[in-house]
Amino acid sequence: MKRHRLTIAFAAVCASLVFAGTAEAHTSAASATCSATTIKFTSFSAGQNTVHYKVTTNGVTIADSSASFTSSTTVVVPNPLFNGDNVRVRTFWLASETADHSSQAEKEILNYTAAACGDKPVHPGIGVVKDGPATAVAGSQVTFTYAVTNTGDVKLDGPSVTDDKCAPVTKVADGDSSFDAGDVWHYTCTMTITAAMGPDLHNTVTACGTGAAPMNPCATDDHHTTVPPANNPPGGNPPGSGTTTPPGSGVLPGAIVSGQARLRGPSGCAKNAFDARLSGRGIASVKFYLDGKLIKSFKSSKSKYSIKLNPKRYGFGRHRLVAKVTFVPSSGTAAPSIPLTFRRCAQGAVAPRFTG
């Protein structure tokens, strides 16, 4: 049984370990800088050697590949680091040129935690979408709902959620007490409508992180509820107006024609730009939100609305598009939020550079 030596190298500290195994005698060493991880392989035996190596940062695989050489080679894997990031390098020496290393002993040649690469930049962000009824009569109770999203890449304290016309705003119990990146928390608030609030009840919700700057981002969203006069309930015609439904329309005079809306787009992994299309009837306006942030508004009444999205402009992973629809008051239809979830296709493993 041959013996082989592996050298573990990181920062300014080096150590040596000696292993006995069935693979060919060799030396391997790895080191990490703030921008790349370098692995050096040197063969002590004649003939070709094949090695399988794996590089991870904070448990996420950065490179998982093989290298073949006759004397020596160096592999450089681009791998930007920030303080606290942990890099580990493992190798499997193969008796033949195959990627199957199931029977080979694993050797960890680097376990390094960065301490001089600067702090990782954080991008706190928050978004909020408010929903509620399109119309409500005086004396009735209405409930508003709020979806608050952590749109950044760091945990936020709080958040604080307030409505300028309705209190208290209460979180829907879900057992989640940590507002992490990507989390969506839901809130509600119920109030009684009065005639004095008509004809248009306009209220605004504000959601904010409660940490010190810059960990206190804020976002707002507003909602309009029509409060018709008592003698003209939703869907009716004003007394004496003489308004009738055109013959042949299939709708009885004074009947309420409910609003409808449907959002279409890709599902699953999206690599290229696409159009998200909303269609329906009785639509007065549409607001499109991406991950809680307002990205486009339409206030004209029409039956079709479209917005183009390019996944390459957003981070890898899951994203949520929400179309907040307001129907014409005569429809008597509450304003819905219609979601469309897509994700940007994951980036393939970073291709390493070979030298030597």
pLDDT (tens digit, 9 = 90+) per residue, 137-160? 999 999 999 999 999 989 999 999
* Each residue's pLDDT tens digit, 305-351: 889 998 888 877 778 889 988 888 777 787 788 888 887 776 554 45
Task: State residue 348's pLDDT score.
Answer: 52
Residue 349 tokens read as 């493993």
At 252 the pLDDT is: 44
Give φ, ψ of 329 to 5 degrees. Answer: -55, -35
Q: Establish how many alpha carbons lie within 13 A of residue 240's alpha carbon, considering only the half-sphere containing its beta carbon.
A: 1
In tens, the pLDDT along 235-288 reads: 444 444 444 444 444 444 444 567 888 888 886 778 888 889 888 888 888 999
Residues 338 and 263 sit within 8 Å (Cβ to Cβ):
yes
Most confident of 47-61, 117-131, 253-267: 117-131
- Tell me which of 91-100, 218-227, 269-278 is least confident: 91-100
| Distance (Å, whole) CA 76 – CA 73 | 10
Task: Map residue 108 onto helix, strand or coil.
Answer: strand
pLDDT at 99 over 50: no
In the chain, where the domains are located: 3-120, 122-234, 257-345
CATH class of 3-120: mainly beta
Is the domain covering 257-345 a CATH 2.60.40.10 domain? yes
Q: Do 3-120 and 257-345 come out as alike in CATH topology?
A: yes
Give the pLDDT score at 256: 52
Spatial neighbors of 122 by CB under 8 A, at least 6 apart, are: 152, 153, 154, 214
Residue 184 vs residue 47, higher pLDDT: 184
Per-residue tokens: 49 = 């050697």
Domain 122-234 sits in CATH at 2.60.40.10
